[in-house]
Every structure is written in structure tokens, then in C-alpha cells.
Amino acid sequence: MALKVPKSSYPQLFKEGYKNLQGVEEAVLKNIQAVHELSEIVRTSFGPNGRNKMVINHLEKLFVTNDAATIIRELEVVHPAAKLLVMASQQQEQEIGDGTNFVLIFAGELLQKAANLLRMGLHPSEIVQGYELASNKASEILDGLSVDSVNDCKSRSELEKSIKTSIASKQSGYENLLTNLVIDATLMVLPKNPQHFNVDSVRIVKIMGSNIYESKVVKGMVFGRESEGTVNKSLKSKIAIFTCPLDLAQTETKGTVLIHNAKEMLNFTKGEEEQIEKIFKEFESAGIKVVVTGGSVGELALHYLNRFNIMVVKVLSKFDLRRLCRVVGATALARLGVPTAEEMGHCDVVETVEIGGDRVTVFRQGEDEKSKTATIVIRGATQNVLDDIERAIDDGVNNVKAVTRDPRLVPGAGATEMELVKQLTSFGEKTPGINQHSIKAFAEALEAFPRTLSENSGLDVTEILPKLYSAHHNESTSATEDDKSGACVGIDIENDDIVDVTKLPNPVLDVLITKHWAIKFATEAALTVLRVDQIIMSKPAGGPKPPQQNSNWDED
């Protein structure tokens, strides 16, 4: 008979107040439950008919959006396992800029399937092994599902294929308008080698009022404030950019000035005036017509700038100041003085115009010149509408960047996921040993996407899913090797049926690299959670205890 020491007699390992959860029941299944709750929050926001979430953050700012990246960023997730998922989705946002919802839904579904396998008696390490095999196989299968590619990044029709589906999933109904805006802006700034395209080159300025159809693309930069002085327009201008205030530097120490008579009083500020006048006189002599500053503009400085007919623009964001330097080819100076010829910038048109009652300043290069920045000016009725349109455009621009890295496209509308389900299930059945259960569970998890698309669009899931399964299995057996029509059958949410999504008037195509990274990040996050078998939490550091309610408060 084996001797067992009673648990109470173990030596005290941790300080008082530590929490120690271990084993499948306490650690793994509780983590899976927390992750499942998080993925359920964003699951209903998936697809063109995904519902919005109203999130009020800790600063009481209101967000009404179906963009998973924004929802997750504003929710303060404290559960450690759910935080792993948040980090995976943030990595997807940084890597591709789209597909964050895919990561969250897929990781949540993988863990939910893993929970069923754990209850069946599988060990977490066996599930991890199977999921790794399935993930590698899924990447291989995905490479073979490519049905189209963006052959020329400078062609409107080619770019449209990659952008429209992504924008339609956020702003269904406005996809044609927003796609054209993104393509116009992209083609203005696209370098000779498309791989050097920088997402930062397409800016967005939101101006409330009017409607979305009044949105337009401006070649150059738009700032949401008017010029400081009386000069509102300048053509073919030399530009000086400063990060310091346009004023004389103040002394660090205080001093006392003793004035004896009226003459001394009159002469007191003359030296200062002469110094400022001299500086801006030199600006005029150098041919500078526009001065941009990231700091304040002194009253005396403004007086002389107006007198010398020099336009003054204040740009408070240091990031915008950097972008402007790139657009006009200037160097931002930290000292007040005449810049050298290399430090000056040049712009064809700098003007203050009125858009919907708001005065804005536009830096615009000529029609013939290649601009380094394009600005999409979006209009809308409320701030929340503008924010949501901005997120959709941002996803569109990121998709352009993605296809410059990998131009291949795969069928959308749940078609790719259903084909992966079919091929991974087949791979699982051919795999000997216990790993086949995990591979089949991985395949079943991918079924969540067509199911979610159907649910969010109000379709009958029990009718749509069997039809999809039937189409993918029957067509593939009768079709030849090269014919991929069976693999392209997805959900037509407008006609409540299934259809070959590549043969629609507007084909529904997703960027392959987005799906590739999303599957990779989701699997990694799920495996990290499954590998945890013990949670040790230290006692939170705290100050004095909160005041307790006095039970005898109503007695004298």
C-alpha cells in the first residue's frame, strides 16, 4: 500500500493569498470557457450582415462598430487566457491589417472542439500534436485553392478584385463607392515597384455633414484647420517647416527691468520687434511663401508674417508634420531661422478651402507630378458613421499592401473554409493513430465560418450547410483535377442559396495571405492555451482596505 502524505501537511510554498489552479478541470477547461466567451462576442459581427457592438470605454467614449480589432482594443480583457487571444488578433492586425475577427472566431472554435476531446479522454499534448499537423496541412491545401491573382497592381480592375470583398464585409452597400475611393488614392501614390507601397501614404480626414457620396480623394494632404494669418492661398511656394514655436525664445530666469522715463518705455520692446522683423524679412528674401509650425505662433510674429504676405499653418500632430515633410520634401527644423535650399520644401498649391462648413487647409501637388500622399476626405452624418467608414477604408488599403506581398486570391463567402473542412477531414481519416481525432476536430472548427455567415444573414443553417457539404463533395468527385468549380461554392446571402462565388457579376474573392496568417496565429494562440496546465496567481498588491459599512449607522 502506497503511503500518501495529507495535502495539509505540505510545506507552505507561496505567500498567503496566492491562488493555484491546476489540472484539466481547473486550468484548461476554465481557460477554454473564457476564450469561448470572448470569441462569441465578436462572432455575431462577422460578415457583411454582422451586427454592431456598442462599446463604451473607460473614458466614456462611445464606439458603435462591427470591426473586431476596435472592439477588442476597447474592451479591457483581464483574463490571462483571453489576453493571449487578444494578442494574436493584434498581431494579425499588425501583419496584414485585416482578418482579426477570423483569428478570434477560429481560435475560440478550436478550443471548444479541444474541450470535447478532453472530455473524451485525450491528453492535451495529443490534441496539440494533431492540431499542429492539421495547421501545416491546411497551409498546403490553401496554396492549392488559389483561383485568381492580382497580376498588375496599377490596374483598377485587378485591384478591385482584392479590395471589394473586404470593404463589403464592413460597409455592405457602399462597397463600390469606397473601393473606387481606395483605388483612386492608391494609384496616386503607388511607387514604380508596388512592393514599396506604404499604407501610411493614404490618409483619411473625416468631416461631419452631408453624406457618404460627397466623399472625395485629394492629391496631397488635408488638415482640418484653417491658416493662422490673413493669407489663405499660395501657389508654387517654397515651404519652411518648424517643430518649435514661431516666437522669440523666452529666458529661463526671471528678471526685473527698471524704466525711468517715457522714452525708455517706448524703446523697451523695439529691440524685440527689430529682431523678429529681421528673421521674417530674411524669410521673404529667401522666397519662402508658406511657414508650417508644430508649436504656437506669437502675436508679434503673426503680425510680421502677414505684413510680408507669408502664409502660416499650424499642425499640432508630430506624425502629420513628418508626413507633410515627406510630401513637400522639406526638413523639420527645431530652431527659428532661414532654412537652407535643401531644407526647404516645395508645393504647387497651398490653400484654405471650405468643405461642408469646415475650413480646411490643402497641400496639393500639380496634376502632372507624382504625389507622395493622397487624402480621402470622407463625409457622413455622425462621428460613429465616419469612424466606421474609416475602418473599412483602412482594411481596403491594407489589402492593397497584402496583394503586393502575395497576389493570390481564394474564393470567399465560406467556400475556402468548406473546401478545407472536406480535405482536412479526408486527411484525418488517412492518418493512423490518435492524432486523427484532433485533425478532424480542426476541420470541424473551420465549419464555424459558413455557419456564422448563414446565422448572421438570417439564413436557415440546417438547410445551407448540408447543401454546401453536398456541393463540395459531389462536384469534386465528378470534376477533373484542374477544375476547381466545386471548391468555389459559397453562400449567396442576397438570394439565400449557395453559388459558385467566382462566377458572380462581382466575384467574392479573399486575399490568400490574410487567411494563411489568420489560421497560423489562431492555431498558435489555441495551442498556447492548451499547453497550460497550472495557473498560479500572486496576491494582488493593494493599499488600505475600503471602508466597511457600519452596521449600526442609524443609531446615535
Neighbours of 284 (CB within 10 A): 16
The number of C-alpha atoms within 13 Å of 244 and in the hemisphere containing its C-beta is: 11
Over its C-alpha atoms, the chain yields an Rg (Å, rounded) of 31
CB contact set of 373 (below 8 Å; sequence gap of 6+):
189, 201, 202, 203, 220, 221, 323, 326, 327
Question: pLDDT digits over 132-151, tens only?
Answer: 888 888 888 888 888 888 78
Contact by Cβ (8 Å): 463, 449: no
Q: What is the CATH number of domain 14-148+411-537?
A: 1.10.560.10
Cα separation, 398 vs 396, whole angstroms: 5
346 by Cβ neighbours in 10 Å (0-12 / 13-18 / 19+) ranks as middle
Q: How far is CA 435 from the centre of its chain?
A: 36
Cα separation, 450 vs 507, whole angstroms: 17
Relative to beta strand 216-223, strand 374-380 is antiparallel
Write down the residue that cell numbers 466597511 correspond to.
Answer: 548
CB contact set of 170 (below 8 Å; sequence gap of 6+):
66, 67, 388, 391, 392, 395
Provide φ and ψ at 351, rounded to 5°: -145, 155
Instruction: Spell out where 303-417 has E strands.
Output: 311-314, 332-333, 345-355, 358-364, 374-380, 408-411
Cα separation, 364 vs 157, whole angstroms: 27
Position 141: which residue type?
A: I
Nearest to 354 by CA among 226, 237, 215: 226
Cα separation, 366 vs 369, whole angstroms: 6
Distances (CA, A) of 96 to 39, 117, 376: 20, 32, 21
Containing 213, the helix (H) or strand (E) segment is none
C-alpha cell at 315: 499642425
Neighbours of 144 (CB within 10 A): 11
The reported pLDDT for the residue numbered 298 is 74
Contact by Cβ (8 Å): 329, 347: no
User: What is the DSSP annotation of 501-544?
Assistant: GGGSSS--EEEHHHHHHHHHHHHHHHHHHHT--EEEEPPPP--S
C-alpha cell at 356: 461642408
C-alpha cell at 98: 485585416
The reported pLDDT for the residue numbered 548 is 66
Where would I find the H helices in 13-63? 23, 29-43
The helix-helix angle for 383-405 and 512-530 (nearest 10°) equals 100
Domain ranges of the chain: 14-148+411-537
C-alpha cell at 392: 473599412
Instruction: Spell out where 104-244 has E strands.
Output: 148-149, 202-208, 216-223, 233-242
Report the first-to-last Cα separation within the chain, whole angstroms: 66
DSSP single-letter state for residue 436:
H
Instruction: Spell out where 216-364 has E strands.
Output: 216-223, 233-242, 288-293, 311-314, 332-333, 345-355, 358-364
Cα separation, 502 vs 515, whole angstroms: 17
Instruction: Spell out where 18-147 has E strands.
Output: 19-22, 53-56, 62-65
Neighbours of 299 (CB within 10 A): 7
The reported pLDDT for the residue numbered 479 is 38
Q: How far is CA 485 from the centre of its chain?
A: 33
Contact by Cβ (8 Å): 41, 76: no
Cα separation, 174 vs 179, whole angstroms: 8
Cα separation, 303 vs 305, whole angstroms: 6
Question: pLDDT digits over 204-240, tens only?
Answer: 888 887 788 888 888 778 887 777 777 778 788 788 8
Question: pLDDT digits over 84-116, tens only?
Answer: 888 888 888 888 878 788 888 888 888 888 888
Q: List average pLDDT for each run of 10 residues in the chain, which is 556 residues long.
A: 51 62 69 82 82 82 82 81 84 82 88 85 84 87 82 80 82 84 85 80 83 82 78 81 74 69 71 74 80 79 80 82 81 79 81 77 71 82 85 86 84 84 85 83 87 83 83 56 61 79 80 87 87 72 65 61
The reported pLDDT for the residue numbered 271 is 67
Q: What angle do CA 477, 483, 484 make, to 5 degrees?
A: 85
